[in-house]
Structure 1
């Protein structure tokens, strides 16, 4: 975490678990999340108010087999259906296809990051700071909302959707 606190960018690499802490650790450390894929790391609380578009960078690596050692063919979908039938189609937790930067290989990433204007980076950092508290777990209702507020609100909303009709 100390290294993450002293850097501008932190990679969010795909993993074998959607419940990994890496995205929340990145926000808590204060660096700009750089999602690299496909496939992509999870975007926790995306449907609960985390503005990933404002706070993060997204890169679509077209030649990913060299760094993922993967034989599957990944696609990027536009919408999240109620049931995802094809596990090899990545559908973002929040719409990012229009802001995603396509690069051919991972080797191009650093060159692209160096070209991002300081004003854009400053806005991303402001957004990270604004979203940071949402990743914390407070023992009471808070303003601005923390993770527990967002989760409880989402549970109540989902309960309303799935409540049996008498």
Structure 2
């Protein structure tokens, strides 16, 4: 399944910050350490040289990915017309069948973090929530079977 090209402003800023850090700080630092290691002689047995070259490849791969991905992303801003319904960027508080409350924010696939309560707009939960309002019941298909939730609160920061 293709990833959505949506992202919050905060998510885009984090990706942009990571790209700048890798390109302007991390890569030059690793390049210097590789040069210093290479100057020590035999490169085939020089762990610092081998590790540094490997790390440079990892950085270059991530930089290429970030450059391409940042160009493709669309930043979604809050619109007052969204109030009362679940759309991209919304915080949603749900109550499950066991009366446990959970809160999620619907964000782009490049920025989700379950520990922060952020779920990808492409996830089954987010797809089930889109367009719903407070007091709506939502059914989500999971590997463990269908789960039901009631929406108790929707807000946008």
Q: How does the TM-score come out when normalised to structure 1?
A: 0.22
Q: Which has the larger radius of gyration?
A: 2
Greater relative contact order (CA < 8 Å, ≥ 6 in sequence): 2
Q: Whose strand proportion is higher, 1 or 2? A: 2
Q: How does the TM-score come out when normalised to structure 2?
A: 0.23
